[in-house]
Amino acid sequence: MHSRYRTILLFGPPGSGKGTQGKILGHVPGFYHLSCGDVFRNVDTNSVLGRTFIEYSSKGLLVPDEPTVAMWSQHMYARTIMAIYKPNVDILVLDGIPRNVAQAKILEKHIKVLKIIHLVCPDEERMIERLRKRAIKENRMDDARDDVIRKRWQVYKKETAPVLKFYPKELIAEVNAQGSPPQVLIDVLRHCVPVQQQHFATGGDATADPTDAKNNGKHTVRKKAPKR
């Protein structure tokens, strides 16, 4: 079994800007962004998992949790083998997964969650309007329908929002998603940069856990050689 990927989760309702912030972070050295949507778009439809994906998606159904995580895991492994993603150098930034508590439990053997950036949207109607404009801009007219947008919000509230309760509260940082993209980015970086610094401090060791009891929360500090 490979070491768990050290990960930051971007979390929030539809239209909160997870993809936007993830793409920006992905251009910062030391971060590697992956959207779960990218996994599905790149799935090999001739594989067993690919055929499972087609079977469900063609009927408008959600792919079950086990195949979803399996597809994600295979995708991550391939990117690691090709050195597109380097676990010892990059912190993985995920959005779009886990979508429910069951997926969060399955992912435990694959990822070590260092921080969760919760993009908070106090004004639901404003976010719905943002989704509507985005769908029109990207020529996704079906997604511009109010009933489709509100259904996505209902699914988020029922299935995805409870994921936050699965993780320790101290891992969660709230960011107001309704500011301008640059302001949101500043707030996101304020929480992500310390995580990255810690990652480099441990030499990018995916197995190192500063909270482990065996380390007592301490790290070995190399003493400088005395000047001669």
Query: 142 in a domain, yes or no?
Result: yes
Contact of 11 with 164, CB cutoff 8 Å: yes
Query: 25 in a domain, yes or no?
Result: yes
Query: 135 in a domain, yes or no?
Result: yes
Number of neighbours of residue 24 by Cβ within 10 angstroms: 19
Contact of 122 with 178, CB cutoff 8 Å: yes
Query: 132 in a domain, yes or no?
Result: yes
Query: 22 in a domain, yes or no?
Result: yes
As for how many domains the chain has, the answer is: 1
Query: 50 in a domain, yes or no?
Result: no
Query: 72 in a domain, yes or no?
Result: no
Q: In this predicted structure, what is the pLDDT of residue 203?
A: 63
Report which of residues 52 and 202 the model is more confident about: 52
Find the DSSP H helices in 35-100. Answer: 36-41, 48-57, 65-81
Residue 34 φ/ψ, nearest 5 degrees = -140, 125
Report which of residues 74 and 218 the model is more confident about: 74
Query: 54 in a domain, yes or no?
Result: no
Report which of residues 165 and 60 the model is more confident about: 165
Name the average pLDDT for the chain: 82
Q: In this predicted structure, what is the pLDDT of residue 171?
A: 97
Sign of CA dihedral 42, 44, 45, 48: negative
Give strand pairing partners of 80.
Answer: none
Which pLDDT band holds residue 2 (cuts at 50, 70, 90)? Answer: low
Q: Average pLDDT for residues 165-176, to the nearest whole number?
A: 96
- Give the tokens for residue 4: 């768990």
What's this model's pTM, rounded to 2 decimal places? 0.80
Q: Quick one: which of 119, 93, 159 has its CA closest to 16? A: 119
- Give the tokens for residue 154: 């209902």
Q: In this predicted structure, what is the pLDDT of residue 11?
A: 95
Q: In this predicted structure, what is the pLDDT of residue 220?
A: 38
For 98, the domain range is 5-33+87-201
140 Cβ neighbours under 8 A, 6+ residues apart:
none
Note the pLDDT tens digit of each residue in 136-162. Answer: 777 766 667 778 788 888 888 999 999
Q: In this predicted structure, what is the pLDDT of residue 148?
A: 77
Which pLDDT band holds residue 59 (cuts at 50, 70, 90)? Answer: low
| Cα gap 55→170, rounded to integer Å | 39
Q: Quick one: which of 30, 11, 5 has its CA closest to 197? A: 30
Report which of residues 59 and 49 the model is more confident about: 49
Q: Read off the CATH number of the domain in which 21 is found.
A: 3.40.50.300
